[in-house]
Each structure stands twice: as C-alpha cells, then as structure tokens.
C-alpha cells in the first residue's frame, strides 16, 4: 500500500526552480507543498467557502465576468497557501505571494500544474526535495 502514499511527500513539498519569462535560468526558486497535502486541502475548503460568501454578498446575480474574478481570486489564494518559502528578498507572506501569482501568471499556472504532479511528491522525494526533478515554469 505504501507505494501509493503521496500525502507525506506533499506535506514535505518540493523545490521548483524558476525560469525568467524568456526561458532563461534565474537564481530563484519556490518551495511548494503538493495538492495531496493537508495545507492544500484545507485551503481548498476555505477557498470554496470564500467563493460562496463572495457570490452571496453581491447585490444581484453575478455576471460571468464577476464569477470568473471571484473564482480566480480563490484559485490564487489556494496556490499562495502552498508556497512555503522562496528565494526572493521579500518576505514570503500572503500579500507578496498573491502579488507574485497575479503579476506573473506563468508562475501561477506552473505552480498549479506542478503541485498536482504526484511524481514530485512521492515518499522518496519528500526526504530529498532538493533532489527532486527540477520543475521549471514555462
């Protein structure tokens, strides 16, 4: 059974090496937790509640654009929750994580894609997150 377990590895996380938007290497990285981990799953519950609250707070039936904006904000908060640390000089706090994800959508997309790649979060990789394959946002 244990060969299928991903939760511990997801909770330990892995390091993602970042590339610049032009594809060149950068010195920066993110340490992210996996989608099978406790943090992501709890953040998903919170995000779902936030979506419902935001929609019910609107004075009228939301437009498609309003719904998309509410859902995108919840998605970014969920992704921000799994960024555990980074190499940037700014503090790795909620506001800075959200700014990075909003202003560098290619990084948000890469984090979203990579946190569901279970091969990066197997039990074997959780102890050696630096040895995990280098995943680079495109």
| Burial group, residue 47, by CB count within 10 angstroms (0-12, 13-18, 19+) | buried
**Higher pLDDT, residue 129 or 44:** 44
Residue 133: pLDDT band with limits 50, 70, 90: very low
Distance CA 114, CA 17 (A): 11
Cβ 28 vs Cβ 19: under 8 Å:
no
Tell me: pLDDT of 61 over 60: yes
Looking at the chain, the whole-number percentage of residues with pLDDT higher than 90 is 75
DSSP state of 34: -
Say what the pLDDT of residue 128 is.
35
What value does the mean pLDDT of the chain take? 88
Distance CA 62, CA 57 (A): 10
End-to-end CA distance of the chain: 34
Please, what are the domains in the chain?
2-131 (3.30.2220)
Lowest-confidence segment of 1-5, 90-94, 98-102, 120-124 by average pLDDT: 120-124
Tell me: pLDDT of 18 over 60: yes
Rg (CA), the chain: 16
Tell me: pLDDT of 77 over 60: yes
Distance CA 76, CA 109 (A): 10
Residues near 71 by beta carbon (within 8 Å), at least 6 away in sequence: 51
The residue assigned the tokens 């299928």 is 4
């Amino acid at each position: 059974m244990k060969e299928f377990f991903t939760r511990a590895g997801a909770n330990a996380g892995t390091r993602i090496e970042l590339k610049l938007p032009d594809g060149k290497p950068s010195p920066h990285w993110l340490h992210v937790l996996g989608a099978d981990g406790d943090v992501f799953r709890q953040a998903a519950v919170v995000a779902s509640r936030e979506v419902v609250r935001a929609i019910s707070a609107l004075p009228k039936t939301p437009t498609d654009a309003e719904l998309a904006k509410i859902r995108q904000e919840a998605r970014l908060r969920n992704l921000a929750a799994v960024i555990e640390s980074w190499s940037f000089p700014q503090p790795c706090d909620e506001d800075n994580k959200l700014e990075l994800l909003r202003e560098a959508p290619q990084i948000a997309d890469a984090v979203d894609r990579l946190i569901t790649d279970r091969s990066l979060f197997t039990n074997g990789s959780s102890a050696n997150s630096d040895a995990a394959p280098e995943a680079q946002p495109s």
